[in-house]
Amino acid sequence: MKKEGMNSPFIRDGQEGESRFDREVNITRKEFLRQLPDAIGNLKFDVEGNQVIVKDGDKRVCITVKDEGTESMGALDTPMKAISFAFDGYSEEEIEAFMDNYDENTMRFGGM
């Protein structure tokens, strides 16, 4: 449930205690995995194919990374990824803190 006064971009998927957030980014898989430890606050994680399972005590974040082709930016073609975050057991405040840390550690000049 959205709390009064909170400007939350998170999409509820209908299950109690689980929230989901999606975004598209210009990044290679190699760069995504290189940035990941700092981006998730050095929490423990496992990579299983196109999914990353982040372990935070009894809470979990499932990050799914899908190839979305390339995007032309002038003379440069950059790889696009659809990244989906599914939070299990996190409060909205904890999700916002997680995503703020993620953004601070993955933000590049000119955007994500």
Confidence of residue 3 (pLDDT cuts 50, 70, 90): very low
Which CATH number fits the domain that encloses residue 82?
3.30.1370.80
Is 90 within the bounds of a domain?
yes
What are the pLDDT digits (tens) for 28-79? 999 999 999 999 999 999 999 999 999 999 999 999 999 998 888 788 888 8
Domain that holds residue 82: 18-95
Domain count, the chain: 1
E-assigned strands of the chain? 11-12, 18-26, 44-48, 51-56, 59-73, 76-88
Confidence grade of residue 15 (pLDDT, cut at 50, 70, 90): low
- Residue 70 in any domain: the answer is yes
Would you say residue 8 lies in a domain? no
Q: What radius of gyration, in Å, describes the C-alpha atoms of the chain?
A: 15
**At what angle are helices 29-39 and 92-106 packed, to 10 degrees?**
130
5 within some domain:
no
Q: Let me know if residue 27 belongs to a domain.
A: yes
